[in-house]
Amino acid sequence: MEVDTTTTTSSSKHIKVHPLSILSISDHHTRITTGGSSLPLNSPTIGLLFGTQTPTSISIVDAEELDPSTAASSSALTKIELHRKVFPLHNVVGWYRVGEKDPTSLDLSRSRGEISKYCSAPLFLLMDPCAEDVKQYDIVDDDQLPLMVYETVEESGGGNNNAACFVNVNFELETFDPERIALEKVFRDAPKPAVVMKKKEDDDKMGNIGEDPQRKVKKCKKEETKSEIVSSEPKNKGEKVTPSKLDQGLDGLQCSIRAMNARMRILLEFLRRVDKGEVPRDDGLLKSVNGLIQQLPLVCAALEEGVASSLSDNVGNSRTPLRELENEYNDTMLLSYLAVVAKTAKSVHTYTEKYRSACEGSRRG
C-alpha cells in the first residue's frame, strides 16, 4: 500500500468542503487536546464525514466524531442513523483525521477496512493543526487551509494482487447563507484578546509552583499589575459584567465590517490572479462579482469620480453620490434623535402621572 502526497490531481468528481465540517473537526480536536472530551488526551482524532453525492460532485457538509476503539462497532452505526434522522439527505462520504504527519499505511488500511463498511469509496480528509499557516494566525492572507483531501485509487498489480494508494485531490470551499450566518455568530461570540491574555497569565501563575518563593511573589505582583492594565474584568470573581446593548451592537458591526473586508480582499486577490493567468477563468464567479459591483453604483462612482463629481440619473438631473449618502446618513440620525426624544417624553409623562397619583392619594389621606 502506498500513499501519494507529492502530487495533487483533479478528481473525476468535483469535491466541495463546507466551513461547518471544518469547524466541527476543529472543535473535536480542541476538546480532546484540552481535556473536554471523554477520550484521553493522546487519543487519535478521527470521525466520519457526512454530505451529499452526485455522479459529478461530492459535498462534505458536516462531520461527526468517532471513537477509534468503536469505529467498526454498532455504536458507529447508531450515530449514523441518528444523523440521518435529522438530515435525511446526508450520507457518509468519507472520514477525517487530525494529525501532524502525512497519511500512513494505517490510514489506508482503515479507509479500505472499517470505513468502507459505511461508504464504498470514502474520501480521507487530513487536518494539520501545527501547519506554519496556522501558527501565524493570519487566516486572510493564507494561501490555503491546513486541509488535504485524498481519495483511494486501486492499481492493478502483477497477478491477482491489487495495490491501493492515497491520491491528493483538489477541493474548493462552498457555503450556504444559513451556514455562513451561524459561523459569523460563532466568531462574533469569541472571547476578547484581553480576556484570553488574562486567562493565560493565570495559567502561568499556576504552573510556577516549584519556583523560589521570593521570586514567585515578585513575579506574581508584576503580573497582577500588568493584568489590571490590560484586562477589563472585575476584581471580584463572583461579579459578572453584562455587556451593554451599545457594546453588543458595536461588536456586531465591527465583526461584519471585518468579515466584509476579508471577503473583499479575497475577491481582489482572485481577480488579480485571473488577470495574470495564475487561476483559471470562472465565468460564473466573475458574473457574481460584476453583479456585486452593479449593486453599489453610488459608492463606485464616488470612488472613481471623487467628492466633487456628479452623475446624471435617468431623468437627466445631475446628482452628487457622496451628497446623497450624506443626506441618507442625516435622515437616519434625525430619525434616531426623534425616537430618543419620543422615548424620553413618554418616560417623563409616565413619571408625571405617577407623581400626580401619589399627590392625590396623600391629600385624600
- Judge whether residue 333 has pLDDT over 50: yes
pLDDT of residue 310: 47
pTM (2 decimals)? 0.55
Q: Looking at residues 132-146, what average pLDDT do you find? A: 55
Distance (Å, whole) CA 322 – CA 309:
9
- Judge whether residue 337 has pLDDT over 70: yes
Q: Looking at residues 313-335, what average pLDDT do you find? A: 68
pLDDT of residue 221: 47
pLDDT of residue 292: 80
| Joined grid coordinates for residue 163 | 495495490
Q: Looking at residues 82-95, what average pLDDT do you find? A: 91
Count Cβ atoms within 10 A of the Cβ of residue 241 and give its class: 0-12 exposed, 13-18 middle, 19 or more buried. exposed
Contact between residue 64 and residue 93 where contact means Cβ atoms under 8 Å apart: no
pLDDT of residue 129: 83
- Judge whether residue 289 has pLDDT over 90: no
pLDDT grade for 250, boundaries at 50, 70 and 90: confident
- Judge whether residue 15 has pLDDT over 60: yes
Question: DSSP letter string over 23-55?
Answer: HHHHHHHHHHHTT-SSS-TTS-EEEEEEEEE-S
198-222: pLDDT as tens digits: 555 655 555 554 444 444 444 444 4
Distance (Å, whole) CA 108 – CA 287:
41
32-75: pLDDT as tens digits: 888 877 788 888 889 999 999 988 899 999 999 888 776 667 78
Residue 103 gets which letter from DSSP?
P
- Judge whether residue 162 has pLDDT over 60: yes
pLDDT grade for 240, boundaries at 50, 70 and 90: low
Q: Which contacts qualify for 324-327: CB closer than 8 Å, 24 or more apart?
A: 324/298, 325/298, 325/299
Contact between residue 26 and residue 134 where contact means Cβ atoms under 8 Å apart: no
Bigger pLDDT: 301 vs 307: 301
pLDDT grade for 266, boundaries at 50, 70 and 90: confident
Q: Looking at residues 105-125, what average pLDDT do you find? A: 87
pLDDT of residue 346: 92
- Judge whether residue 187 has pLDDT over 50: yes
The set of residues, in sequence order, having a beta carbon less than 8 Å from that of 132 and lying 6+ positions away, is: none
Radius of gyration of the chain (CA): 29
CA angle 358, 361, 365 (to 5 degrees): 140
Q: Looking at residues 285-314, what average pLDDT do you find? A: 65
pLDDT grade for 119, boundaries at 50, 70 and 90: confident
